[in-house]
Structure 1
Amino acid sequence: MATRHHHQVPAPQQQRGGGGGGGMKQQKAAEGNNRRALGDIGNLVHANPRPAEGKPPPQISRPVTRSFGAQLLRTTQTGVDPSAAAAKLTAETCETGCCRRREGCRKACETEGCCREAEAETVIEISPDTGKKKGSTHSKKKVHTLTSVLTARSKAACGISEKPTEPAHDIDAADLGDQLAVADYVEDIYKFYKISENCRRPGDYMDSQTEINTKMRAILADWLIEVHERFELMPETLYLAFYIIDRYLSVETVLRRELQLVGVTAMLIACKYEEIWAPEVNDFICISDRAYSRDQILAKEKGILDKLEWNLTVPTPYVFLVRFLKAAISDQELEHMVFFFAELGLMQYSIVSYCPSMVAASAVYAARCTLNRNPLWNETLERHTGFSEQQLMDCAKLLVGFHSSATESKLKVVYKKYSSPEFCSVALHRPASRLLEESKGEEETPSST
């Protein structure tokens, strides 16, 4: 095998003592003296560079622009040396002052003295033309066509005026800063309520029931209103409980002995849905005098929810009462009177056939008639309720009739409740004579014929 020879490189000898250090300093000083100063480090070359002795002049390097290339092409075609032409063009550029935009070229121009002072520019001001041509403004004559004349005459004959009608009172203007009032989309909410109130409404179910009648329902309603008052529950709970009862009786046949069980269970379901602190099952067992056991109430609760398909989010009359009272700009007396008529309507089976918004609007109208509020109905109420005064007459007459017969009825829970000073004793007011006379006249008309 061939042997590899390793050549050892001798290490440089280090100088010892102070003499070696002094020699290195002298060498660095000599190199510093021989170093040339930096010239111009701009990106442009001087127009007239100084060639070194015995060397050819350096080539001119300049960015070739479109105009610069065209000039070089012309000089090449005429037979002139391109290097000399480039140097001449660069010098001319410096003379025109265009190279002053760059710092390096400015120094070169100042060194060679090729820059000239720019001549003062003369600014010529042109005064605007303020003169106006005569006859430039002319008025266009209004032409009355046959169609416009006939339209105007038709509107005048029909009594139609083109003046815009005054907008209805904005009942939500005071609640714009209240986030809980949702004033921005409360109108859309009630439009949805008006559409959805006709879905899953209780129908006329008394004909399908074999053991119960309207009187039994009225007795149950009177007792449930008393239970609601004793438990001090929310008003929403009462109206939802009656919806559950009527809806369940519309789809299921109930025996007479189970009617109170249906009422107790409906109140329990409504409490769980609306109340913060709902009464317990034992509370309803005690309030019903232990007529039903805990297992019976819980079993009926499941049966009712299954029949209703667990759908309890429905617009009840109370939802519309709150809105319509706001539109009526009601005081405390009017508010109590409206709820008095609404609870009278809960007890009567004949009100079940009316939609919740109709019942609420009729209660407001009947209350205003009873308290002699003028006007009885206005544009704001008609706009927010969606009903005219004539549309509310039938239901309002029924409510006023319930008020007139409340003193003689055996079921007086609602009448006693609203006869107390706590509710401004609104039940003690005389019934609206105007609506009573109209209802009596309608009853006498068929008999006379």
Structure 2
Amino acid sequence: MIVDLWHVLLVQGTCLPLSSYMSSQAEISERMRAILIDWIIEVQYRLTLMPETLYLTVYIIDQYLSMESVPRKELQLVGISAMLIVSKYEEIWAPLVKDLMCLCDNAFTRDQVLTKEKAILDRLHWNLTVPTMYMFIVRYLKAAMCDTELENMAFFYSELALVHYAMLVYPPSVTAAVAVYAARSTLGMNPPWTDILEHHTSLAEPQLLDCARRLISFHTLAPESKQKAVYRKYSKPKLGSVALQSPDKKLLSG
């Protein structure tokens, strides 16, 4: 029964936001999305919201943008409204609307936030039960019997993936697996991919390499990137300063 349920999640994980949706957006770009997600990550960390809230918020943003053309001036409104929706769904104590408005420098009114919240929920048919990358990565890390350093490194890579629109081509189950693989590689764990992980992910190491090269490339560029929320967060001693580790560049030439 548990195996059957996991299979359903894997199948559902292929029902993703369109990875090409940006071509249908007249006023927003990949860079603008990256700025928004970078900001969302900062807000989640500042408000100490649960990681589930972060991953589902990003999913809802992308899913809504796959369905609706959004003016540039409303992109942050979509982001903060999505976070409000997910906070009510995931958190014991959700942030107040006025607190989220304050984080936007009061660029939007309460009515605008609540109206957009309803518009997003209606467009998504109120379906918030979706398999996010977080759901998969927790399972994979448990299978890997990870320590705190590996856990922090894997979440660093998974949050880097959230920022980059190009990663939408991969199902969340694959990106989660690659985050664990890239983390193990960067930490010099041998082997970087085990039979147990292959069993739990249904992915062999060769199937991970293309996505892993992208993640390692993002790590390499992170110190100079304009979107630094993930890098700053995981440079903190509280999270093991894992972002300061040298990425496994052998994967880039592999």
After TM superposition, the score normalised by the length of structure 1 is 0.56
- Residue identity matched to 1:352: L
Alpha-carbon distance in 2 for matches of 1:414, 1:379: 30
Aligned residue for 1:254, secondary structure, equals coil
| 2: CA distance, partners of 1:201 / 1:256 | 19
Question: Is 1:240 aligned with 2:20?
Answer: no
Match status 1:421 vs 2:237 = yes
Compute the displacement of 1:425 (Å).
Answer: 0.8
Partner of 2:169: 353
Q: Secondary structure at the match of 2:37?
A: helix
Name the counterpart of 2:158: 342
Q: CA deviation at 1:327?
A: 1.2
Quick one: which of 220, 242, 252 aligns to 1:404? 220
Residues in 2 aligned to 1:433 and 1:369: alpha-carbon distance in whole angstroms? 9
Which residue pairs with 2:28 in the alignment?
212
Unaligned ranges ≥5, structure 1: 1-184, 439-449
Q: Which range moved further: 406-415 or 342-351?
A: 406-415
User: Which of 251, 254, 261 is the aligned partner of 2:67?
Assistant: 251
| Aligned counterpart, 1:325 | 141
Instruction: Evaluate the alpha carbon distance shift between residue 428 and residue 266 of structure 1 in structure 2; reply closer, same or farther with a 3 A threshold.
Output: same
SS at match of 1:290: coil
- Per-residue displacement from partner, 1:63-120 (whole Å, max 9, x unpaired)? xxxxxxxxxxxxxxxxxxxxxxxxxxxxxxxxxxxxxxxxxxxxxxxxxxxxxxxxxx
What amino acid sits opposite 1:365 in the alignment? Y
Structure of larger gyration radius: 1
Any conservation in 1 of the 2:17–2:66 contact (CA below 8 Å)? no
Q: Which amino acid is the alignment partner of residue 233 of structure 2?
A: K
1:92-131 residue pairs with structure 2 within 5 A?
none
Equivalent in the alignment of 1:275: 91
Contact preservation (8 Å) 2:19, 2:166: no
Q: Distance in 1 between matches of 2:166 and 2:138?
A: 23
Matched, 1:374 2:190: yes
User: Please, which of 375, 394, 399 is the counterpart of residue 210 of structure 2?
Assistant: 394
SS in 1 for 2:23: coil
SS in 1 for 2:190: coil
Given that 2:64 and 2:120 are in contact with CA atoms closer than 8 Å, whether structure 1 keeps it comes out as yes
Structure 2 residue 123 is matched with structure 1 residue 315? no
Residue 288 of structure 1: how far off its partner (Å) = 0.7
Q: For residues 203-252 of structure 1, what are the alpha-carbon distances to aligned partners after superposition, in whole Å with 9 as ceiling and x for unaligned?
A: 41010001000000011011110000111000000000000000000010
Q: Deviations over 1:301-341 (max 9, x none)?
A: 11111111111100000000000001111100000000000
Deviations 1:26-58 (A, max 9, x none): xxxxxxxxxxxxxxxxxxxxxxxxxxxxxxxxx
Q: CA deviation at 1:200?
A: 4.9
Task: Indicate yes or no: 2:120 matched with 1:304.
Answer: yes
Q: Please tell me the residue identity of whatever aligns with 2:58.
A: F
Per the normalisation by structure 2, the TM-score is 0.98
Distance (whole Å) between structure 1 residues aligned to residue 89 and residue 19 of structure 2: 23
| Rounded Cα–Cα distance in structure 1 between residues aligned with 2:120 and 2:5 | 28
More helix per residue: 2
What is the rounded CA distance, in whole Å, between the counterparts of 2:2 and 2:196 in structure 1? Answer: 16
Say which of 227, 232, 250 aligns to 1:434.
Answer: 250
| Cα distance in 1, alignment partners of residues 155 and 16 from structure 2 | 24
User: How many Å separate the matches in 1 of 2:18 and 2:141?
Assistant: 25
1:375 positional shift: 1.1
Query: How many Å separate the matches in 1 of 2:15 and 2:203?
Result: 19
- C-alpha distance in 1 between matches for 2:151 and 2:3: 21
Q: How far does the alpha carbon of each residue in 1:358-385 deviate from its partner, in whole angstroms, 9 at most, with x for none?
A: 0000001000110010111121110100
How many Å separate the matches in 1 of 2:15 and 2:21? 16
Seq. identity, %: 57
For residues 276 and 298 of structure 1, the distance between their equivalents in structure 2, rounded to whole angstroms, comes to 20
Q: How many residues align?
A: 254
- Which has the bigger relative contact order, CA under 8 A and spacing at least 6? 2
Match of residue 261, structure 1, among 73, 77, 80: 77
Q: Distance in 2 between the 1:321 and 1:371 partners? A: 17
- Which segments of 5 or more consecutive residues in structure 2 lack a partner in the other structure? none
Q: 2:39 aligns with which of 223, 227, 231?
A: 223
CA separation in 2, counterparts of 1:382 and 1:419?
30
Q: Distance in 2 between matches of 1:370 and 1:241?
A: 28
